[in-house]
């Protein structure tokens, strides 16, 4: 058993309380390789933003859970080396699907876990979440739960259609389970194809898809039931059109990829939403940079020569999110 405290990580409790009060959100970036992690830590250290490193099932399968956990420990030391004296870094399990997995991650040094029982019947979700919370809180590890179903596919979390969180259930759920934060469904969705073209309208000038707005009325109703309680948004990439265009004009094929407009995420950040999950945008940044470099320099075969620019592009993206969208810059000095 290793406590996250021994390796310099923090849980989400104080971080979220500050964010809810301050009207900003903490970025939760997924990582599964070194370049991504370097970019996240450089961006957070430069902007002095608290940051959540999260590991999905797909990432665990791809890179190995133990290796990722030690990379996170290395990330704390790296952040300090970059001059960030008191880094506020959370290591979070994204979409934990069983009690055993959550327990295992807590024993390995994760400071926060998500137990996703959202696909289960309500009572089973309550029971499973409660069990994880009881274990996690013994070690001062914070727990994110989920109520409501997000549409979309990402790393083996998939659902055909979304079901908005029911505001009338949230008090009962939070009281019974004791969870520390709650992921809700208000129209965000996993992946780079968040909406089908028929769900969108088209901008008459550009011909680009305009997604339907998030259900801010549902968010407001939830906030009213749980004043000050930390709310989490999954599937909140914006799918920047410039990356999609670079990918498509360099041999890629991402027709009609569409995300959540940043203006809506900015609005959400000012509410009780205090954690915003971003994964697809970093994949797009990486892919765009790699495709562009390889198209321009077809003789290049040193991975550092195309992963380096990809890392720089991801860092730019992370800084943009922190400074211009979530408002978390300077909150972890
Ligand atoms: Zn998610």
In whole angstroms, what is the distance from residue 177 CA to residue 133 CA?
7
**Distance from residue 304's CA to the centre of ligand 1 (Å):** 30
Question: Rounded to the nearest whole angstrom, what is the distance from the C-alpha of residue 161 to the centroid of ligand 1?
Answer: 14
Residue 178 pLDDT class (50, 70, 90 cuts): very high
Residue 92 lies in a domain: yes
Label residue 162 by pLDDT band (50, 70, 90).
low
Identify the CATH number of the domain in which residue 295 sits.
3.20.20.70
* pLDDT greater than 90 at residue 180: yes
In a domain, 258, yes or no: yes
Instruction: Compute, in angstroms, the gap from residue 99 CA to the centroid of ligand 1.
Output: 18
What was the pLDDT predicted at 159? 60
- Residue 234: inside a domain: yes
Are the C-beta atoms of 236 and 152 separated by less than 8 Å? no
Whether 95 is covered by a domain: the verdict is yes
User: Of 85, 82, 90, 72, which is closest to residue 15 (Cα–Cα)?
Assistant: 90
Whether residue 93 is contained in a domain is answered as yes
Classify residue 97 by burial, with Cβ atoms within 10 Å: 0-12, 13-18, 19+. Answer: middle
Could you list the active site residues? 94
What pLDDT is recorded for position 330? Answer: 98
Domain count of the chain? 1
Over residues 181-193, the mean pLDDT reads 93
In the β-sheet with 189-190, what is the strand arrangement from edge to edge?
Answer: 157-159, 151-154, 189-190
- DSSP three-state, residue 310: helix
Q: Specify the pLDDT at position 218.
A: 95
| pLDDT over 80 (residue 139) | yes
Q: Is the model's pLDDT at 151 over the cut of 90?
A: no
Residues near ligand 1 ion, CB 5 Å cutoff: 234
Q: pLDDT tens-digit profile of 246-305?
A: 999 999 999 889 999 999 999 999 999 999 999 999 999 999 999 999 999 999 999 999
What global pTM score does this model have? 0.95
- 332 within a domain of the structure (yes/no): no
| Ranges of H-type helices in 82-188 | 99-108, 122-138, 167-177
What distance in angstroms lies between residue 203's CA and the mean position of ligand 1's atoms? Answer: 28
| Enclosing domain of residue 110 | 4-326
Answer whether residue 99 shows pLDDT above 70: yes
Q: What is the pLDDT of residue 157?
A: 57
Specify the pLDDT at position 207.
80
Instruction: Let me know if residue 264 belongs to a domain.
Output: yes
Does 333 map to a domain? no
């Amino acid at each position: 058993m290793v406590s996250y405290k021994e390796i310099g990580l923090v849980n989400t409790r104080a971080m979220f309380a500050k964010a809810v009060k301050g009207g900003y959100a903490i970025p939760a970036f997924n990582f599964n390789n070194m370049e991504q992690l370097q970019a996240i830590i450089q961006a957070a250290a430069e902007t002095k933003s608290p940051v959540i490193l999260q590991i999905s099932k797909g990432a665990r399968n791809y890179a190995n859970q133990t290796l990722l956990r030690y990379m996170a420990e290395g990330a704390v030391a790296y952040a300090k080396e970059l001059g960030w004296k008191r880094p506020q870094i959370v290591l979070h399990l994204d979409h934990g699907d069983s009690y055993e997995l959550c327990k295992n991650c807590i024993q390995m040094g994760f400071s926060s876990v998500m137990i996703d029982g959202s696909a289960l019947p309500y009572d089973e979700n309550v029971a499973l979440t409660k069990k994880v919370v009881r274990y996690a809180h013994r070690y001062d590890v914070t727990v994110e739960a989920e109520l409501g179903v997000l549409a979309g596919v990402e790393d083996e979390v998939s659902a055909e259609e979304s079901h908005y969180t029911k505001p009338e259930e949230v008090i009962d759920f939070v009281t019974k389970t004791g969870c520390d934060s709650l992921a809700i469904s208000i129209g965000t969705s996993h992946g780079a194809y968040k909406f089908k073209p028929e769900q969108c309208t088209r901008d008459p000038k550009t011909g680009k898809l305009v997604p339907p707005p998030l259900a801010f009325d549902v968010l407001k109703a939830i906030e009213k039931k749980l004043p000050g309680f930390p709310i989490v948004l999954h599937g909140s990439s914006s799918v920047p059109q410039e990356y999609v265009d670079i990918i498509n004009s360099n041999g890629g094929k991402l027709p009609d990829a569409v995300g959540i407009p940043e203006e809506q995420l900015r609005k959400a950040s000012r509410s009780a939403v205090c954690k915003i999950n971003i994964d697809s945008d970093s994949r797009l940044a990486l892919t765009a940079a790699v495709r562009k470099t390889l198209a321009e320099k077809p003789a290049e075969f040193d991975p550092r020569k195309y992963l380096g620019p990809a890392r720089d592009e991801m860092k730019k993206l992370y800084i943009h999110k922190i400074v211009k969208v979530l408002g978390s810059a300077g909150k972890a000095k």
